[in-house]
Structure 1
Amino acid sequence: MKHITFYLDFLSPYAWLAFERLPLELEGLSYSVRYRPVLLGALLKQHGNPGPGGITPKRDWTFRHVAWLGHALGIPLKMPARFPFSPLPLLRQALACSDDGSVNRFVTGTVLRHVWADGQDALDPQRLEALAQALAEQTRPGQSSTSEAPKALLRANTDAAIAQGVFGVPAFVVDDKLFWGLDSLPMLRAYLTGDAWFDGPDWDAVRQLPTA
């Protein structure tokens, strides 16, 4: 059995789409998944990347692209009433349900649907309270989105992701290999099924190319 670490930020529509597609793309394979929330903004800052929300034409394209992908894949997706927004309350709420930085699929899906399923304001106080109630049975005793433990777990997750070379989300790490983005899922499946391509030189060849 292969063990996959799925790095995600609830801010990312591609993370929502990948979350929904992952079981279908990997159907029939033996694997486990650890869902690890990270702060996308910190990953982008590490590499001087403003992200699609910081470039107006790219922001417009991203909105259109993910709306079409949701339509094409049959996954409900509506842009939240405000975007981008600070995902910190959502990340910390999810990690209030964790002891080690990983959250289960129920918690991950509940928070992602909170953002992407109905087009409402993800940070509306009443909706945040409803989200906390929906996760109450999963929340660790004495923890909440404002507790210190979830904040520390988020920092640790983000630092670990950066150390593994993660530069965006969704990202999937298995063995020593990093797969990035919704469109990497077929490639991830190929690796998990033992595709011989991964034993050849092409995976590491780019590191030998000089930068012009």
Structure 2
Amino acid sequence: MKLIDFYLDFISPYAYLAFEQLPRALQGLSYEVVYHPVLFAGMLKQHGQLGPAEIAPKRDWTYRQVAWLAQAHGIPLQMPAAHPFNPLALLRLALACARQGAPNRFVCETIFHHVWRGGAAADDAGRLAALTEQLAPARDAASGEIKQALQAATQAAIGAGVFGVPSFVADGRVFWGFDALPMLRAQLEQDARLDTAWATPASVAQGARR
């Protein structure tokens, strides 16, 4: 059985789409998923980047594309009332619900649906309180322990070569984005064609730098 580390941030519509699509994309294969909530903003800071929603034309394109992808794949999606929003409370809640190191699929699904279904404000205090009561975390999501756990998880992801969400790591290889799901399946199936693709960067010399 293959192990997949799934790095996600609830702020990302692509992470939501990948979360919903994953069981269908890997149907028939034997695998186990470990879900890792991480702070996408921390990865952007590490690499000196802005998020897609912080660049006006890219923001518009992102929302159009995820609406299209959701419809094309039959995944319910309604944009939250405002985006981007601060996802820290949701990420910490997920970690506070983790009983064996990582939150389970039910916890992640519940939080993703909180954000990406219904069109309400993801960071509304009343909704967050109701979500916390529903999930009944084993630990205090606002504690220093949980805050440190999120920081550590984000740094561990960066150390593993993860630079964005959603990302999947299998056999030490990082697969980034919703559109990487077919490549992830190929990895689990040990498709030799993927080895050829993986070797491609080594054959390309570094060109001009800005």
TM-score, normalised on structure 1?
0.94
- Aligned amino acid, residue 103 of structure 1: P
CA distance in 2, matches of 1:167, 1:198: 20
Residues 37 and 101 of structure 1, relative CA distance in 2, 3 Å threshold: farther
Q: What is residue 191 of structure 1 aligned with on the other side?
A: 187
Q: What is residue 176 of structure 1 aligned with on the other side?
A: 172
1:101·1:154 contact (CA, 8 Å) conserved in 2?
Answer: no
Say which SS state the counterpart of residue 4 (structure 1) adopts: strand
Say which SS state the counterpart of residue 199 (structure 2) adopts: helix
How far the C-alpha of 1:99 sits from its partner, in A, is 4.7
CA distance in 2, matches of 1:170, 1:147: 26
Identity of aligned residues (%): 56
Gaps of 5+ in 2: none
Residues 198 and 71 of structure 1, relative CA distance in 2, 3 Å threshold: closer
> Which residue, 200, 207, 210 being the options, matches 1:205?
200
Gaps of 5+ in 1: none
TM-score, normalised on structure 2?
0.95
Matches within 5 A, 1:60-209: 60-99=60-99, 101-136=101-136, 139-140=137-138, 143-200=139-196, 202-209=197-204
Structure 1: which 4+ aligned runs deviate by more than 4 Å?
none
1:53·1:84 contact (CA, 8 Å) conserved in 2?
Answer: yes
Kindly tell me the number of residue pairs found equivalent between the two proteins: 207
Q: What is residue 32 of structure 2 aligned with on the other side?
A: 32
CA distance in 2, matches of 1:158, 1:207: 27
CA distance in 2, matches of 1:150, 1:99: 13
How far the C-alpha of 1:70 sits from its partner, in A, is 1.0
2:183·2:194 contact (CA, 8 Å) conserved in 1?
Answer: no
1:96·1:149 contact (CA, 8 Å) conserved in 2?
Answer: no
Alignment RMSD (CA, Å): 1.2
1:10·1:90 contact (CA, 8 Å) conserved in 2?
Answer: yes
CA distance in 2, matches of 1:37, 1:204: 29
1:2·1:30 contact (CA, 8 Å) conserved in 2?
Answer: yes
Deviations 1:82-121 (A, max 9, x none): 1101100000011101256411000000000000011100
